[in-house]
Structure 1
Amino acid sequence: MKHIILVLGSIILFSSTVYSQIGARFPSEKKVVIDSVTGTELIFLTSEPKGDSKIYPTHPQWTSDGKWLIFKSRRVRGEAMAVNEETGDIVQVTEGGFTGMLNIAQKSMKLYFMRKADKDIMQIVEVNLGKVFTDSKAGVMKPISNYERICGTTPADMKAGGDLALDADEEWVYFKIGKETAVKYLSPNVKIEENFGPRNMGAGPDGIAKMNIITGKTEHVISVPFQIGHIQTNPWNAGELVFCWETGGKSPQRTWTVLADGSGLRPLYPEADYEWVTHEAVITKDEVAMAIMGHRKVDIIEDKPVEVTESKAVRNPENPGQESNWGPSGTREKPTGLAIVNLRTKEMTIAGQTPSGSGLWHVHGSSDGRWAVGDDFSRSVYLIDRHTREMMMLTTGHKVTAADHAHPSFSPDGTKIQIQSAMLSKDDKSMNICIVHVPKSWLERTYSEK
Structure 2
Amino acid sequence: MGLNQNLALEFTLLSLLIFLMASGCDQQKQVWQKEWQCEVYPPEHLLTNDAQTGAQLRYITTHPGKDVNLYFDLNCWTADQSLLVFYSDRSGRQELFGYLPQSGEIVRLQPDDQSPAYNATVDYQSQDLYVVRDNCAYQWHVEIHLSAQTSQPSEVRIRERKITAAPDSTTFFMGFTESADGRYLSAGLNHTGSEQQDIIALDIESGDMRVLYSGSKISHVQFSKYNPNLLRFSHSPQRMWYIDLREAQIARPLHQQEPGELVTHEDWWIDDQMTFCGGYREEESHVKLIDIHSGLTRIIGAGSWWPEKTPRELSQVNWWHASGARDGRWVAADNWHGHIAIIDARTSHLRLLTKNHRPYGNVGVEHPHVGWAPDSKSVEFTSHALGNANVCIAYLPKEWDDPFINTYQP
Looking at structure 1, the residues matched to 398 and 253 of structure 2 have their Cα atoms a distance apart, in angstroms, of 38
Measured in 2, the distance between the counterparts of 1:79 and 1:165 equals: 18
Q: CA deviation at 1:263?
A: 4.6
Q: Distance in 1 between matches of 2:166 and 2:53?
A: 49
Q: Could you list the per-position Cα deviations for residues 1-58 of structure 1 after superposition, in whole angstroms to 9, with x for gaps in the alignment?
A: xxxxxxxxxxxxxxxxxxxx75110111121122222222211111122211101111
Equivalent position SS for 1:441: helix
- Please identify, of 104-113 and 233-242, the stretch whose mean Cα deviation from structure 2 is larger: 233-242
Segments of structure 1 that go 5 or more residues without pairing to the other structure are 1-20, 117-121, 184-203, 246-250, 297-330
Structure 1 position 350, deviation (Å): 0.7
- In structure 1, what is the Cα distance between the partners aligned to 2:140 and 2:403? 40
Q: In the alignment, which residue of structure 1 is the partner of 2:210?
A: 219
1:62-104 deviations in Å (ceiling 9; x for gaps): 1111222110111332321110223211112234244542110
2:219 to 217, 222, 229: 229
Partner of 1:394: 353
Alpha-carbon shift at residue 154 of structure 1 (Å): 1.8
Q: For residue 34 of structure 1, what is the aligned residue in structure 2? A: 49
- The offset of 1:432, in angstroms, is 1.0
CA spacing shift, 1:218–1:31, aligned 2, 3 Å: same
Counterpart of 1:82?
A: 98
Structure 1 CA distance for aligned equivalents of residues 45 and 38 of structure 2: 19
Letter in 2 for 1:55: L
Displacement of 1:123 in angstroms is 0.8
Q: Aligned equivalents of 1:127 and 1:68: distance in 2?
A: 13
How far off is 1:351 after superposition? 0.5
SS of 1:147's partner is strand
Aligned to 2:62: 47
When normalised by structure 2's length, the TM-score is 0.78
Counterpart of 1:234 in structure 2: which amino acid?
S
Q: Helix, strand or coil for the counterpart of 2:347? A: coil
**Equivalent residue letter for 1:416:** S
- The separation in 2 between residues aligned to 1:344 and 1:26, in whole angstroms, is 48
2:297 alignment partner in structure 1: 348
Answer whether contact 2:274 2:289 (CA < 8 A) is retained. Answer: yes
Is the 1:101–1:165 contact (alpha carbons within 8 Å) kept by the matching residues of 2?
A: no
How far apart are 1:282 and its partner, in Å? 1.2
Contact 2:358 2:384 in 1 (8 A): yes
Q: Is the 8 A contact 1:279 1:363 kept in 2?
A: yes
- Could you report, residue by residue, the CA deviation over 1:206-239 in whole angstroms, capped at 9, with x for unpaired residues? 2212322222222322112x31111111122223
Are the structure 2 counterparts of residues 86 and 343 from structure 1 closer, same or farther at C-alpha, using a change threshold of 3 Å?
farther
Is 1:166 matched up with 2:166? no
Q: Distance in 1 between the 2:45 and 2:198 partners?
A: 42
Contact 2:96 2:118 in 1 (8 A): no
**Post-superposition offset of 1:167:** 2.1
- Residue type of the partner of 1:240? L
Residue identity (%): 24
SS of the aligned residue for 1:252 comes to coil
In structure 2, the partner of 1:154 is 166
In 2 relative to 1, CA 127–73 (structure 1 residues): closer, same or farther, beyond 3 Å? same
In structure 2, the residue matched to 1:324 is none
Residue 443 (structure 1) shift: 1.8
2:397 is matched with which residue? 439
- Which whole-Å CA distance do the structure 2 matches of 1:166 and 1:86 have between them? 26
- Give per-residue Cα distances to partners, 1:252-276, cap 9 Å, x unaligned: 2111111335354111222111311
Map 1:295-314 onto structure 2 (within 5 A): 296=282
The residue number in structure 1 matching 2:238 is: 253
C-alpha deviations, 1:322-370, integer Å up to 9, x for none?
xxxxxxxxx65xxx51011123333211101233512100111112322
CA contact 1:415–1:443 (8 Å) conserved in 2: no
Mark the CA change 1:399 to 1:444 in structure 2 (over 3 Å): closer, same or farther. Answer: same
Q: CA 1:440/1:159 → structure 2, altered by over 3 Å: closer, same or farther? A: closer
- Write the letter of the residue equivalent to 2:220: H
Q: Which residue of 2 aligns with 1:299?
A: none
Amino acid at match of 1:40: A
Q: What is the rounded CA distance, in whole Å, between the counterparts of 1:289 and 1:373 in structure 2?
A: 10
CA distance in 2, matches of 1:139, 1:49: 22
Q: Would you say the 8 A contact 2:83–2:100 is kept in 1?
A: yes
The match for 2:145 among 111, 131, 134 is 134
The answer on 1:177 being equivalent to 2:189 is yes
State which structure, 1 or 2, has the greater radius of gyration over its C-alpha atoms. 2
The whole-number CA distance in structure 1 between the counterparts of 2:404 and 2:126 is 33
Equivalent position amino acid for 1:229 in 2: S
Superposition map of 1:42-441 within 5 A:
42-76=57-91, 77-95=93-111, 96-116=114-134, 122-129=135-142, 131=143, 133-134=144-145, 147-179=159-191, 205-224=196-215, 226-245=216-235, 252-260=237-245, 262-293=248-279, 296=282, 332=284, 336-356=285-305, 357-358=314-315, 359-400=318-359, 401=362, 403-425=365-387, 430-441=388-399
- Which amino acid is the alignment partner of residue 384 of structure 1? I
How far residue 404 of structure 1 moved from its aligned partner, in angstroms, is 0.4
Asked whether the equivalents of residues 98 and 106 of structure 2 are also in contact (C-alpha less than 8 Å), the reply is yes
Unaligned stretches of 5+ residues in structure 2: 1-35, 306-313, 406-410
Q: SS in structure 1 opposite 2:169?
A: helix
- The separation in 1 between residues aligned to 2:118 and 2:279, in whole angstroms, is 26
Residue 125 (structure 1) shift: 0.6
Distance apart, 1:378 and its partner CA: 1.2
Q: State the distance in 1 between where 2:402 and 2:103 align.
A: 27
TM-score, structure 1 normalization:
0.71
SS in 2 for 1:442: helix
Question: Per-residue deviation at 1:140?
Answer: 9.7
1:81/1:140 CA distance change after superposition, 3 Å: closer
The structure richer in strand per residue is 2
